[in-house]
């Protein structure tokens, strides 16, 4: 099985070196580089084949949000935010600029590795508290979300995704197969010109892509 190639981007030597050691002790991961700034993270992702960048947000020279934007715009890697900040503005900016996951720095090493593997396998990763905040942002939803683009069933799928339900839970709720759920999600992503599941929730709840 191929190793998951990771870049650790954090301006804290303690966090950066600690995570590097944790990943290097696991045969499923390979740390291809570490970065102390967003600029270094972008440069590393450009030079080295990378699957996931574990990205802090507050860093010198270039912050994690701008780095996320540049990395995802060039399809260099997936970005999983790992930060101490959980304010609405940073969450929105990170997700809208391409981050496929958002974690707060209160997880065990095993949990972080589990989240990385989920992201590598095509899932999206959000802390429960972060998803709750996104849901609360729904009060700001505006007409930018065009419901006319979608069928009634697709609308049901969108709302279920925005409630944080998994494909299995959606299938059970709507009495359809998981395969059908996946097909509907693919259709929604295509119609809305989105690239990943988390963006569906952000688009539905905030009206922004």
Q: From first to last of the 209 residues of the chain, give the pLDDT tens digit.
A: 688 999 999 999 998 999 999 998 888 999 999 999 999 999 999 999 999 999 999 998 899 999 999 999 888 999 999 888 777 778 878 888 888 888 888 888 888 888 888 888 776 677 666 766 666 655 444 446 778 889 989 988 988 887 777 888 899 989 999 999 999 999 999 998 887 777 787 777 666 65
Query: How many angstroms separate the CA atoms of 42 and 47, rounded?
Result: 9
Residue 176 near residue 169, CB atoms below 8 Å: no
Domain stops at, among 127, 160, 179? 127
Q: Are residues 145 and 112 in the same domain?
A: no
End-to-end CA distance of the chain: give it in Å, rounded.
35
The sheet carrying 29-35 orders its strands as 29-35, 4-9, 52-55, 78-83, 101-104, 125-126
Extended beta strands in the chain, E state: 4-9, 29-35, 52-55, 78-83, 101-104, 125-126
Q: Are residues 147 and 88 in the same domain?
A: no
Q: Do the domain assignments include residue 29?
A: yes
Q: Are residues 95 and 73 in the same domain?
A: yes
Give pLDDT tens digits for 120-179. 877 667 766 676 666 665 544 444 677 888 998 998 898 888 777 788 889 998 999 999
Domain stops at, among 127, 156, 173? 127
Q: Are residues 122 and 19 in the same domain?
A: yes
Cα 187–chain centre separation: 20
The pLDDT of residue 29 is 93
DSSP label at 177? -
Number of residues that this document lists for the chain = 209
Closest CA to 87 of 98, 77, 95, 78: 95
Q: Are residues 29 and 87 in the same domain?
A: yes
SS3 6: strand
Q: Do the domain assignments include residue 135?
A: no
Q: Are residues 54 and 100 in the same domain?
A: yes
Query: How many angstroms separate the CA atoms of 71 and 46, rounded?
Result: 8
Q: Are residues 123 and 155 in the same domain?
A: no
CATH of the domain at 179: 1.10.10.10
Query: How many angstroms separate the CA atoms of 114 and 156, rounded?
Result: 29
The pLDDT of residue 98 is 83
Provide the number of structural domains found in the chain: 2
Residue 104 near residue 96, CB atoms below 8 Å: no
Q: Are residues 121 and 27 in the same domain?
A: yes
Q: Do the domain assignments include residue 134?
A: no
Q: Are residues 148 and 66 in the same domain?
A: no
Q: Are residues 116 and 28 in the same domain?
A: yes
Q: Do the domain assignments include residue 26?
A: yes
Domain assignment of residue 22, given as a range: 4-127
Query: How many angstroms separate the CA atoms of 99 and 86, rounded?
Result: 14
CATH of the domain at 86: 3.40.50.2300
Q: Are residues 109 and 150 in the same domain?
A: no
The pLDDT of residue 194 is 83
Q: Do the domain assignments include residue 76?
A: yes
The pLDDT of residue 45 is 95
- Triad 113, 116, 118: Cα angle to 5°: 110
pTM of the model: 0.67
Q: Do the domain assignments include residue 84?
A: yes
């Amino acid at each position: 099985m191929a190793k998951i190639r990771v870049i650790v981007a954090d301006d804290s030597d303690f966090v950066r070196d600690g995570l590097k050691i944790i990943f290097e002790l696991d045969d499923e991961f390979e740390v291809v580089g570490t970065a102390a700034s967003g600029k270094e993270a972008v440069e590393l992702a450009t030079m080295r084949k990378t699957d996931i960048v574990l990205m802090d947000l507050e860093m010198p020279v270039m912050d994690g949000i701008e780095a996320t934007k540049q990395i995802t715009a060039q399809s260099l890697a997936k970005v999983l935010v790992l930060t101490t900040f959980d304010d609405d503005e940073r969450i929105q900016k990170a997700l809208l600029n391409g981050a496929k996951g958002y974690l707060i720095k209160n997880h065990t090493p095993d949990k972080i590795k589990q989240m990385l593997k989920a992201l590598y396998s095509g899932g999206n990763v959000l802390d429960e508290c972060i998803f709750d905040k996104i849901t609360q942002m729904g009060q700001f939803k505006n007409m930018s979300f065009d419901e006319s683009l979608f069928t009634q069933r697709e609308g049901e799928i969108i709302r279920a995704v925005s409630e944080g339900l998994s494909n299995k839970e959606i299938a059970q709720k709507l009495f359809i197969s998981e395969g059908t759920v996946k097909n509907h999600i693919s259709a929604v992503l295509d119609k809305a010109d989105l690239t990943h599941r988390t963006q569906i929730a952000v688009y539905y709840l905030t009206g922004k892509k």
